[in-house]
Amino acid sequence: MVDRSPQQGGRGRCLAYDPGAVCAYVEAANPNVYPQCEMYHRSLAMVHASPTRSYFIDIFRVKGGTQHDWLVHGTHADFSSDLPLSAVRTEGTLAGPEVKYGHYHDDEKLGAAPYGSVNYFGYRGSSFQFLYNVQEAPLQSGACARWDIITSGKRAAPLVKANDGAYLKAYMLGESEQVYVCGGKPQQNQAGTPESVRFVVRRRTGEDLSSTFVSVFEPGAGAELVSGVEALPTGSDDALAVKVTLTSGEVDYYFNAPEPVEIEVDGIRFSGRVGYVTIDGSGQVTRAYIHDATAIQKGGWELRADPSGRTTIATCDYSANSVTLTEPVLATRHARGSTVAIDLGGYGASFEVRDTEGNSMLLFGDQDPLCSRAVIDQVVPAERKLLTGTTLYFVQPGMHVLNERLEPVARVESTSSGAVVLDRPLAADALPDADADGVVRAYFAEYGPGDIVTVPSSLRYEKR
């Protein structure tokens, strides 16, 4: 949460989606949800530490605003932490000692109305008045919060199901953060709902604020997987190196950066954006992964790959659902089964590559690129407008406008009730009634000529 207000509506972008063995990775961004933010970006790595156990490295980068709050909560559980938490403050709420539970202190109209007498749908405040029994402490990087799920006995909640001994641990890495632990009441609309759950809120404040919240989540039951987590210096404000020590004695190193970097820590050299390696007790590499990276090395061992390929779309065949790229980036990359990201300027799309042809053609199979169609009542060239009575739920700026022959003729600049504004003047005959049924239609596509395509490059290693 930025500046004590909820996110606005806005379409995000999938920048990476790479499931698989050893390590799975996903990355997304949406700078549209907070107008004061130039970056709102999250990545998540699922590290398969054994055939039956995994942990997760969650990185949230935010730039802009003056207050950043990162929140997570557990379920019906006993909460514990190695943070030096203050005594429980029973007065007020997280919104302040003077703010009573449920009082809409940051909305004058709602705050003045008797509770429950008005519609709260339009509320744009923090909702911190619903978090109570506040404790706090400065973050000590590497500290852990833990939820031990209550599954049996008189305290068990009927709606909470988990294995015996189930828990969730959250290791927190960062600096200049204040951590708040609070109670929060889930919606009490079903019998057996827990009365309260524990929230962890990490807060940073400052002018023109830039934050990177790093968390390592370990779900499990019984024996623990992770014994400790620490951040290692990289010499860069944006690049991260995370050291995860496992109870098995193995040590994992994870690297992540918004742009390609060169990092060397503990004798491990990494070049690229995302990388991971496991070192066993004898100092040997047993597992490794790189994504949009060229190398990860330790001693005489190395894993090398080409970086992700970035090029543009030269031509499209919407009937075959295929694109031909301007450069032969497939010559040195295995794209089949991967997910490509397509940048349309104002909009971002992603498609799984079902097949390839030659060094430059991607085929997307049955993933329909046409997200909407409209009956066109009139073309207004002077205003770059298409007038239509069709409701366009899914049309976004940057998408391509196609005629009935599925030929791209323009891009969407904006939409409003009854009109689509284009990025260029359009001749009145650019949208012919090609099927001669007396109705002129336009289609809206998630890719087209000139769009930037990122063909990911990733490589996995597991010692046999």
CATH classification of the domain holding 156: 2.70.98.70
Q: What is the CA radius of gyration of the chain?
A: 26
- 194, 75 contact by CB (below 8 A): yes
Express each pLDDT in 126-161 by its tens digit: 999 999 999 999 999 999 999 999 998 888 888 888
Question: HSE (CB half, 13 Å, CA atoms) of 133?
Answer: 9
The pLDDT value recorded for residue 10 is 83
Give 193's pLDDT tier (boundaries 50, 70, 90): confident
- 242, 232 contact by CB (below 8 A): yes
Among candidate residues 213, 235, 257, the one where a domain is terminated: 235
**Collapsing DSSP states into helix, strand and coil, what is residue 197?**
strand
Express each pLDDT in 288-298 by its tens digit: 999 999 999 99
Q: Does residue 267 form part of some domain?
A: no
Torsion angle of the four alpha carbons 252, 253, 254, 255, in this order, in degrees rounded to the nearest 10:
-170
Closest by alpha carbon to 458, among 22, 38, 9?
Answer: 22
Mean residue pLDDT of the chain comes to 96
Q: Are residues 205 and 328 in the same domain?
A: no
Q: Are residues 333 and 399 in the same domain?
A: no
Q: Are residues 67 and 205 in the same domain?
A: yes
Q: Does residue 156 form part of some domain?
A: yes
Q: Which of the 8 DSSP states describes residue 414? A: E
Give 189's pLDDT tier (boundaries 50, 70, 90): confident
User: Residue 320 sits in which domain range?
Assistant: 309-367+451-462
The pLDDT value recorded for residue 115 is 86
- 347, 369 contact by CB (below 8 A): no
Q: Are residues 357 and 390 in the same domain?
A: no
The pLDDT value recorded for residue 454 is 97
Q: Are residues 126 and 224 in the same domain?
A: yes
Residue type, 31: P
The pLDDT value recorded for residue 325 is 98
The pLDDT value recorded for residue 429 is 85
Q: Does residue 243 form part of some domain?
A: no
- Residue bearing tokens 């090609």: 434
| Domain count across the chain | 3
DSSP conformation letters of 8-77: PP---EEEEEE--SSEEEEEEE-TTS-TTEEEEEEEEEEEE-SSS-EEEEEEEEEEESSEEEEEEE-SSE
Distance from C-alpha of 59 to C-alpha of 464, rounded to nearest angstrom: 31
Strands (E) located in 233-306: 240-246, 251-265, 268-279, 285-298, 301-304
pLDDT of residue 192 exceeding 90, the answer is: no
Q: Does residue 287 form part of some domain?
A: no
Give percent of the chain with pLDDT exceeding 70.
100
Q: Are residues 231 and 101 in the same domain?
A: yes
Average the pLDDT over 235-254 and give the result: 96
Q: Are residues 76 and 152 in the same domain?
A: yes
Neighbours of 254 (CB within 10 A): 24
Q: Are residues 327 and 425 in the same domain?
A: no
pLDDT of residue 423 exceeding 80, the answer is: yes
Q: Does residue 245 form part of some domain?
A: no
Distance from C-alpha of 117 to C-alpha of 104, rounded to nearest angstrom: 13
Neighbours of 308 (CB within 10 A): 22
- 25, 45 contact by CB (below 8 A): yes
Q: Looking at residue 375, which CATH number applies to its domain? A: 2.40.10.340
Q: Are residues 222 and 316 in the same domain?
A: no
Residue 415 in tokens: 């939409």
Q: Are residues 388 and 415 in the same domain?
A: yes
Q: Are residues 97 and 158 in the same domain?
A: yes
Q: Does residue 284 form part of some domain?
A: no
Distance from C-alpha of 74 to C-alpha of 255, rounded to nearest angstrom: 27
- Would you call 71 exposed, middle or buried from its count of C-beta atoms within 10 A (0-12, 13-18, 19+)? middle
Residue type, 305: A
Total-model pTM: 0.94
Closest by alpha carbon to 23, among 409, 455, 461?
Answer: 461
Q: Are residues 176 and 324 in the same domain?
A: no
Q: Does residue 204 form part of some domain?
A: yes
- Residue bearing tokens 């990122």: 454
- 4, 69 contact by CB (below 8 A): yes
Q: Does residue 160 form part of some domain?
A: yes
Residue 2 in tokens: 């930025």
Q: Which of the 8 DSSP states describes residue 276? A: E
